[in-house]
A and B are shown apart, each in its own frame.
Chain A
């Protein structure tokens, strides 16, 4: 299936509170393995919990794990938004 067809967007663009299925991770092997270790894996559901008031850091949740990451790292994760 073409990525465009399922409307892939970056985790950074996922609206606050919205949930999405992860389809893409960072290419860098080291960063990718850290993402996986925190639960950010293909096929898992991620939710944007909050964004920091100033700046670009956001908090997301996968399963029972909360993760803080910067927009730069979040932009490398491609998700398919789930209907609310």
Chain B
């Protein structure tokens, strides 16, 4: 089977073209020599099956970003019979260089000039025969968005692949430094641009969106809108998933396991099934998150958000896109962590992923609202909650400041602000779908294993009351007592922290089990057990330590580096311990 690779700069509509060409059958997969998953699909071109691989969008092929390296490594390790080089017709002045670079590898290629409809309406004229002659490649004008020119594109790709005689992989070499000048010369010879290109829709929109005074408030408004859309739409969907799972448990699983011995039944219900439930509970928000983030990204606004908020993040070694993801993390950390993939540079991604778990997510908020209501006066409660948000931002920035040297030393900030465009719905939904299946594929096993482990700790030996002092967790809490009692966290509460490691949603449920109080009497039981200093110390710990197993799974899935993931777990744990210790000791000294 012949193999075709799609090459193009970011924001050239490469994904839209890929979708047009391949339809629904695309899958992400592993490739030799490459550390990230790439999207690929098999399509029929001119009677032959062809494998089409969507390479990451890159600005050039020589060095720099991680995406560039991925493309080079892919081409170096995987034989390709031809390249489809996708360009934006309105920005050919700087994009023809990719075609020249690709040509220098000796690979057959077709130059696809996308967004030709936009170019036409801007009055840009392309001398197609001259371009083909001077470039030595077939050139096709098309608009992947509305399908214009697609038959011609298929035709050209088919005949290119048919004639292709490539043997083995190529070795992309360092590019000729004069290539940029040659590409510009080629463009000047073949493309005519009207002298007044200034008052485009993008320019006019930017006057509002990037306004010196309104730009930033608009950004926060848009983020608030996206946030609300993702999480208010997500909540009922999550409830739906939860009640479906409850139904399955009560109506199907429980009657089935009654015949099994107690521990086995408990393993299936409280271990495996709860693990699956944990995975499932994230699917709605991941889906919605990527639908809305793809809209923001596809519209061209995301890099503008980065520009507007850059000054907030620059000091911490991050860029504005990190800020967007950090904000989205206040709903749920898991999709926000996955969303860092929009950043090309690995160091920047890893640093951003390190700070996202400090964002006070809705699951933690649930715990805090409960404890604050139970232990603080109605007048103090909002202030207490607000202080936790301050700690959330504070710990994130502290972490970024501490780790920026190791991860993003001298990361330059040079970002294209692409023209505003209406996102293509198919591309948006496909992207969201791929993210969900990626999460399922990569994180499921890890999350279920973690849930089962905590189940075992809190249920073994099986004749003991679950989560009681007689279980392994109880023994563990005795060992950990010297660590936790200086924080004002007693043994019973330290067991709930163990549960909280799986997911913060289960902390309250665990408390109810441990204090054997039922949800209704829990507030009274808890306020009888601890004073406000202990409660605040506990909340600080819950805020800062690992948000949940799923975040760890995603960190590993995204970084593919166990050392990094270990640091990402150990550092917040240490910080949580130190902060709670300092708070508890100081507060007890003054007010205890």
Number of A positions contacting B (CB below 8 A): 34
Residue in chain A with minimal CB distance to B60: A37
Contact of B94 among A29, A31, A38, A52 (CB under 8 A): A38
Q: Is A68 an interface residue when CB atoms closer than 8 A count as contact?
A: yes
| Interface residue ranges of A31-65 to B (CB < 8 Å) | 31, 33-39, 41-44, 49-50, 52-57, 59, 62-65
Task: Contact check, A36 vs B63: say whether CB atoms are below 8 A apart.
Answer: no
Task: Contact check, B9 vs A65: say whether CB atoms are below 8 A apart.
Answer: no
Q: Is B292 an interface residue when CB atoms closer than 8 A count as contact?
A: no
Residue in chain A with minimal CB distance to B175: A33
Task: Contact check, A68 vs B90: say whether CB atoms are below 8 A apart.
Answer: no
What residues on B are CB-neighbors of A38 within 8 Å?
Answer: 59, 94, 414, 416
Task: Contact check, A52 vs B310: say whether CB atoms are below 8 A apart.
Answer: yes
Give the contact-size bracket for chain B: 35 or more
What residues on B are CB-neighbors of A39 within 8 Å?
Answer: 91, 93-94
Q: Are A37 and B307 also in contact (CB < 8 A) when A67-B415, A73-B413 are?
A: no
Q: Mark B112-138, 1 if CB is under 8 A from A, else 0.
A: 000000000010000000000000000
Cα A38 to Cα B91 in complex, Å, equals 9
Task: Contact check, B310 vs A37: say whether CB atoms are below 8 A apart.
Answer: no
Task: Contact check, B94 vs A68: say whether CB atoms are below 8 A apart.
Answer: no
Q: Are A54 and B311 also in contact (CB < 8 A) when A31-B414, A62-B94 are?
A: yes
Contact of B210 among A50, A55, A73 (CB under 8 A): A50
Least Cβ distance of B94 to chain A in Å? Answer: 4
What residues on A are CB-neighbors of B212 within 8 Å?
Answer: 50, 52-53
Task: Contact check, A68 vs B62: say whether CB atoms are below 8 A apart.
Answer: no
List residues of chain A with CB under 8 Å of any chain B CB: 29-31, 33-39, 41-44, 49-50, 52-57, 59, 62-70, 72-73
Residue in chain B with minimal CB distance to A76: B412
What residues on B are CB-neighbors of A34 within 8 Å?
Answer: 59-60, 64-65, 412, 414
Task: Contact check, B210 vs A59: say whether CB atoms are below 8 A apart.
Answer: yes
List residues of chain B with CB under 8 Å of any chain A CB: 9, 59-60, 62-65, 90-91, 93-94, 97, 122, 175, 180-181, 184, 193, 197, 200, 202, 206, 210, 212-213, 215-216, 303-304, 306-308, 310-311, 314, 412-419
How many A-B Cβ pairs are below 8 Å?
124
Task: Contact check, B311 vs A55: say whether CB atoms are below 8 A apart.
Answer: yes
Residue in chain B with minimal CB distance to A32: B177
A-B pairs, top 4 by smallest CB distance, nearest first, are A55-B311, A37-B59, A39-B94, A68-B307
Residue in chain B with minimal CB distance to A39: B94
Residue in chain B with minimal CB distance to A42: B181
Cα A49 to Cα B308 in complex, Å, equals 14
Task: Contact check, A37 vs B97: say whether CB atoms are below 8 A apart.
Answer: yes
Task: Contact check, A63 vs B416: say whether CB atoms are below 8 A apart.
Answer: no
Contact of A55 among B62, B175, B202, B314 (CB under 8 A): B314
Known A35-B414, A65-B93, A68-B303; 6 more pairs at CB < 8 Å: A36-B180, A37-B94, A39-B94, A41-B181, A55-B314, A63-B197
Least Cβ distance of A42 to chain B in Å? Answer: 7
Task: Contact check, A65 vs B308: say whether CB atoms are below 8 A apart.
Answer: no
Q: Are A69 and B413 also in contact (CB < 8 A) when A36-B97, A57-B310 are?
A: yes
Q: Are A68 and B64 also in contact (CB < 8 A) when A37-B59, A42-B181 are?
A: no
Task: Contact check, B314 vs A68: say whether CB atoms are below 8 A apart.
Answer: no
Cα A82 to Cα B414 in complex, Å, equals 23
Contact of A52 among B91, B307, B415 (CB under 8 A): B307
Q: Are A33 and B64 also in contact (CB < 8 A) when A65-B91, A67-B417 are?
A: yes
Q: Among the interface residues B180, B181, B210, which one has the most CB atoms of the partner chain A within 10 A? A: B180
What residues on B are CB-neighbors of A59 within 8 Å?
Answer: 206, 210, 307, 417
